[in-house]
């Protein structure tokens, strides 16, 4: 790897630039660095896809309205107890 060429970056740096790219925050220089790196690196091309996928999964998981999860088997006794605690505080 040519360390003197400012447009040549490592995979580590490139994975950082991919993160910035996903949020539309790349500078012109960074954009070129990433573009050139991806031309020669299929692993980073793959990582970019993974990172986009991970983004979508996290958005769905964290921001979605989904609440079904097997670990969310909430104990109904606890719910009833909570209800009466809340009702008690509303007086």
Partner 1 sequence: MENASVAIKEWVELYTSEMVSWAYYKTSQQETAEDLVQETFIAAFQSFHTFENKSKPKTWLFSILKNKIIDHHRKCYRDAVLPANKVSEEYSANLFGFLFEADGQWKKDRKNINWGTDTEELLDNPEFNVVLADCLNRLPASWNAAMQLKYLQEKDQKNICQELEISATNYWQIIHRAKLQLKACLENYWFKNE
Q: Which residues of the shown chain bind partner 1 in the complex (CB under 8 A)? A: 1, 10-13, 15-16, 19-20, 23, 25, 43-44, 47, 50-51, 53-54, 56-72, 74, 76, 78-79, 82-83, 85-87, 89-91
Nearer to partner 1, 35 or 46 (CB): 46
E strands, 9-87, are none
The residue (of 28 and 86) whose beta carbon lies closer to partner 1 is: 86
Closest CB to partner 1 among residues 34, 44? 44
Tell me the C-alpha distance between 62 and 6, whole Å.
38
Q: How far is the CB of 29 from partner 1 (least distance, A)?
A: 15
CA 14 to centroid of chain Cα atoms: 16
Secondary element (H or E) of residue 4: none
Q: Cα 42 vs. chain centroid, distance in angstroms? A: 21
Percent of the chain that is helix, strand, coil (3-state, to 5): 70, 0, 30
Minimum CB separation of residue 18 from partner 1 in Å reads 8
């Amino acid at each position: 790897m040519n360390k003197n060429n400012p447009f040549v970056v490592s995979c580590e740096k490139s994975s950082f630039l991919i993160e910035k790219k996903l949020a539309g925050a790349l500078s012109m220089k960074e954009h070129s660095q990433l573009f050139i790196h991806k031309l020669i690196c299929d692993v980073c091309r793959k990582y970019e896809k993974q990172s986009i996928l991970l983004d979508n999964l996290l958005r769905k998981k964290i921001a979605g309205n989904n609440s079904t999860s097997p670990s969310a088997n909430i104990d109904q006794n606890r719910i009833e107890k909570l209800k009466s605690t809340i009702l008690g505080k509303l007086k």
